[in-house]
Structure 1
Amino acid sequence: MYPKNLLYAYALIGICALPACHKGTSYGEGMVRLHVTGTWEGQPFQASQEHHDVLNHRVFVDGLKLYLSDVQLKGPSGQEDLLEVGLFNLTVGEGVSLVKVPAGTYGSLLFGLGVRPDLNMSDPSQYAAGHPLSVSNGTYWTWASGYRFVMFDGRFDTDPNGTGTVLPTFAIHSGKNDCYTTAERLAPSPIHVEPGDTTDVYLNFAVDRFFYTQSDTIDISTDNQSHGENLTLALRFTDCFVQSTTLH
């Protein structure tokens, strides 16, 4: 269970806003540092740089923010909470949160992409500036009474050899409870949390995979706008977002 005071993180570059960040560890407990990262074809993701998608379009990603909810480590003895809700801005680099958990061995990470339904329906005015659900973050859809879950913005060029100014834009903003998706990612090797030590865990989003899965390919030249009204496209992108993730 989460403590009465809301566990949360608002992550930019190495900024942690978890209540547990500055607490010392007691016997039998260790610290887990969760890194949320982005890559493009295995290399660190860099915003506004030229990339090529699976259909060989030139792509410039200018903005990438996303919410994660109910992040937990899962082990033989159960699940341990890392984060209830966090906003990660991968445009500026990896996001990091730090939390204390019981020492032990864990095998997977559970998470929800987006803001889980009960929090998504909450009143954003109750959250102070700096909280991931605060209206100051500009992520709340007033018209939909809910949050944008993933904000994926940029420019594209259908000419793979183009060199001129890239003007056509894409803006994929998923949201609404239908797009909230939970997933589990297995660790490639056991995650050992030792008493008094800090263990690093990385959840990576392969941004180049945001346009396709094994069963679907999204053509950004025709499917490039989603602001809550195009649920079919939002769900297709959500599937790509989730399937792009790996744990290491």
Structure 2
Amino acid sequence: MPSVLRSPVLLLGAAALLAGCHKPYGTDGPQGHVRLKVEATWQGQPVITGAIHQNVNNYRTQVDLLRLYLAELRLTGPGGAAALADITFFDALDGGTDTVLAVEAGTYSGLHLGLGVPAALNASDPVLYPVGHPLSVSNGTYWTWATGYRFVLFDGRYDTDPNGTGTPANMFSFETGMDPCYRVDDLVLPAPLTVQGGDTTDLVLRLEVDRFFHNALDTIDLATDNQTHGDNLPLAMRFTDNVLGSITVQ
């Protein structure tokens, strides 16, 4: 299940920041809701736990876990920006999960997001958060040894033989964290998104998992690069860039 946090203190700070650069959407007008869904796909098809796909290296690739934090979520448009949530947590496999977020009514053309946990929240004490909170220890995402959170958890198995059968024998695990792995992006919506007061509008983010392994300049070869748990920062940053580049808005 996804979880979400909207912090009044952080939102006030964000509003002050926004006021200095553009006219914000009204804060006293009607509110609507956005149902934000995050789903994993492989070449456009839903990623099902345990299903086997061929990756860019023609390796048989099985995905068993894909969970992630999205932060600093804001809808953007001619009126500036309107906050959705400070931090959210999603399980993206098997059709994905969704959460309903309150937002100012208006018409929007973009979405600002962060992949991971921003530094201030990453340094916070997880024991302060109740069960159901995105940063609760109950989610199993906190690295005690690193005093910070895992941002993206992506685990599975692979086989370099494209003609192999059965469950792939080799394991991969990309679990990013650390402040240098936090990334932000501004996505353009495929069409204007109008949120009416009192209504709920759907917004879907897709993670194209086949693109987790490559971009135009770099390919992650699972035969040699298949593990990062905070101890292989260069690989974690390569992987993070690929994940961020894989996100599309439907």
**TM-score after normalising by structure 1:** 0.88
Give distance in 2, aligned partners of 1:42 and 1:227: 28
Q: Which blocks of at least 5 consecutive residues in structure 2 are unaligned? A: 1-5, 12-27
- Cα deviation per residue 1:50-99 (whole Å; 9 max; x = unaligned)? 10101100000001110111111001111111111111112344121112
- Is the contact made by 2:32 and 2:104 (CA closer than 8 Å) also made in structure 1? yes
- Of the three residues 112, 116, 119, the one matched with 1:117 is 119
| Paired residue secondary structure (1:192) | strand
Match for residue 227 of structure 2 among 225, 228, 236: 225
Q: 5 Å matches for 1:38-117?
A: 38-117=40-119
Name the SS of the counterpart of 2:221 in structure 1.
Answer: coil
Which residue in the other structure is 1:4 paired with? Answer: 8
How many positions carry a matched residue from both structures? 229
Task: State the distance in 1 between where 2:43 and 2:87 align.
Answer: 28
Q: Deviations over 1:26-55 (max 9, x none)?
A: 973221111111111001121210101011
Specify the SS of the correspondent of 1:243: helix
Q: Which runs of 5+ in 1 are unaligned?
A: 8-25
Q: Distance in 2 between matches of 1:141 and 1:48?
A: 26
- Match status 1:185 vs 2:190: no
Stretch of structure 1 that moved more, 161-170 or 172-181: 161-170
Greater mean alpha carbon deviation, residues 80-89 or residues 226-235 = 80-89
Larger helix share, 1 or 2: 2
CA distance change for structure 1 residues 222 and 3 in 2, over 3 Å: closer, same or farther?
A: closer
Question: What is the SS of the residue equivalent to 2:235?
Answer: helix
**Retained in 2: the 8 A contact 1:27–1:196?**
no
2:7 and 2:86 in contact (8 A); partners too: no
Percent identity of the aligned residues?
A: 51
Kindly report the root-mean-square deviation, in angstroms, between the aligned alpha carbons of the 2 structures.
1.7
Corresponding residue of 1:147: 149
Whole-angstrom CA distance in 1 between matches of 2:172 and 2:87: 26
* TM-fit CA distance, 1:137: 1.3
Query: CA separation in 2, counterparts of 1:6 and 1:133?
Result: 15
Deviation at 1:140, TM superposition (A): 0.5
State the shift of 1:212 in Å.
Answer: 0.5
Pairwise CA distance, 1:3: 4.5
